[in-house]
Amino acid sequence: MKLHREGYTIMTVAAIVLVLINLGIQFLLPDGYWIPRMVLAASVVIFFLVVQFFRVPSRVIHQNDKQIVAPCDGKVVVIEEVVETEYFKGPRRQVSIFMSPLNVHINWNPISGVIQYFKYHPGLYLVAWHPKSSTENERTTVVIRNRQGVEVLFRQIAGAAARRIRWYVKEGDKVEQSTEMGFIKFGSRVDLFLPLDAEIKVNLQDKTVGSVTVIAELK
């Protein structure tokens, strides 16, 4: 299993801490039986959960200029028409995807094109499904314009547990659909803001596969 570079430090620290805890238990309870074994079992489970969080999945992708693909793994929690106030300053179709701690947390570019706008916003750490998390939490805003001139905005949003957002793009970069653009550590959310005439291809509660699931088709 391939592991993401964003997890190397966390996995190393977790391994050291868990080893020290188990050595300490063995030292304090040399004649113990159940407690050392229970701590060891719990440590293995915890380390496995940390490692699986940073796994890099193998995906078969097909690029299509007419399609907008999921920027992350997760579950669709919002589909609605809203007024986007930061960049478009007008109505857009919003599709939001909640990422649980069990999901892969890599983020992918939903379309091919040029990064027209990028901004990092420090902020709060409300739970990712809170209505105000999209505008008040720590987040990034990215706008990609494709070859047809259509612009798609998406936001990486930190949650109550996710307090570290990574991005690998900047304004002026040319990006390809379904390529990696960033990473959010632990539970979080990604919002997409699409043209009003985009045909939404997902429903609420649908599970998405990042870089694969088609979220919408452009006219």
- What is the pTM assigned to this prediction? 0.84
Residues 73 and 9 in one domain: no
- Token pair, residue 151, equals 């612009």
| Catalytic-residue membership of 112 | no
Q: pLDDT value at position 102?
A: 83
Q: pLDDT value at position 128?
A: 58
Q: pLDDT value at position 129?
A: 59
Residues 36 and 144 in one domain: no
Measured CA to CA, the distance from residue 73 to residue 199 in angstroms comes to: 20
Residues 173 and 97 in one domain: yes
Residues 39 and 106 in one domain: no
DSSP 187: S
Q: pLDDT value at position 131?
A: 59
Q: pLDDT value at position 134?
A: 66
Which residue stretches of the chain have pLDDT < 50? none
Give the chain's domain count.
Answer: 2
Q: pLDDT value at position 105?
A: 87
Domain boundary among 53, 76, 93: 53
Measured CA to CA, the distance from residue 75 to residue 111 in angstroms comes to: 19
- The CATH number covering residue 187 comes to 2.70.70.10
Measured CA to CA, the distance from residue 67 to residue 13 in angstroms comes to: 40
From the candidates 43, 133, 178, 188, which is the catalytic residue?
Answer: 188
Q: pLDDT value at position 187?
A: 65
Residues 44 and 87 in one domain: no
Residues 191 and 96 in one domain: yes
SS3 84: strand
Q: pLDDT value at position 86?
A: 95
Domain residues for 9?
5-53
Q: pLDDT value at position 126?
A: 65
